[in-house]
Amino acid sequence: QELLLAESLGKHPLQNRWALWFFKNDKSKVWQANLRLVTKFSTVEDFWALYSHIQLASKLTSGCDYSLFKDGIEPMWEDSQNKRGGRWLITLAKQQRHTELDRFWLETLLCLIGEMFDDYSDEVCGAVINIRAKGDKIALWTRDAENQEGVTHIGRVYKEHLGLSQKVTIGYQAHADTATKSGSLAKTKFVV
Amino acid sequence: GTRIIYDRKFLLECKNSP
Mean of pLDDT values over A118-143: 97
Phi and psi of A53, rounded to 5°? -90, -30
Tens digit of pLDDT for each residue in B1-18? 789 999 999 999 999 876
pLDDT band for position A181 (cuts 50, 70, 90): confident
Residue in chain B nearest A120 by alpha carbon: B3
Mean of pLDDT values over A49-73: 97
Kindly give, in sequence order, each residue whose CB lies less than 8 Å from that of residue A75, ignoring residues fewer than 6 positions away: A21, A23, A35, A65, A67, A69, A126, A128
User: pLDDT > 70: what percent of chain A?
Assistant: 98
| Strand arrangement of the beta sheet that strand A35-43 belongs to | A35-43, A13-23, A65-70, A124-130, A137-142, A86-91, A171-174, A190-191
> Are A15 and B14 in contact (CB < 8 Å)?
no
Tell which wins on pLDDT, A150 or A2.
A150
Quote the CA–CA distance of A121 and A151 in Å, as a whole number: 10
Contacts of A14 in chain B (CB under 8 A): 4, 6
Tens digit of pLDDT for each residue in A90-105? 999 999 999 999 999 9
* pLDDT exceeds cutoff 60 at A183: no
Q: Does A113 touch chain B (CB under 8 A)?
A: yes
pLDDT band for position A180 (cuts 50, 70, 90): confident
CA angle, A21 as apex, A105 and A101 as ends, to 5°? 15
Q: Does B2 touch chain A (CB under 8 A)?
A: no
Quote the CA–CA distance of B4 and A147 in Å, as a whole number: 23
Tens digit of pLDDT for each residue in A10-31? 899 999 999 999 999 888 888 8
Q: Does B5 touch chain A (CB under 8 A)?
A: yes
Mean of pLDDT values over A64-85: 97
Phi and psi of A139, rounded to 5°? -135, 140
Helix (H) or strand (E) holding A127: strand A124-130
Kindly give, in sequence order, each residue whose CB lies less than 8 Å from that of residue A93, ignoring residues fewer than 6 positions away: A135
ipTM over 0.90: yes
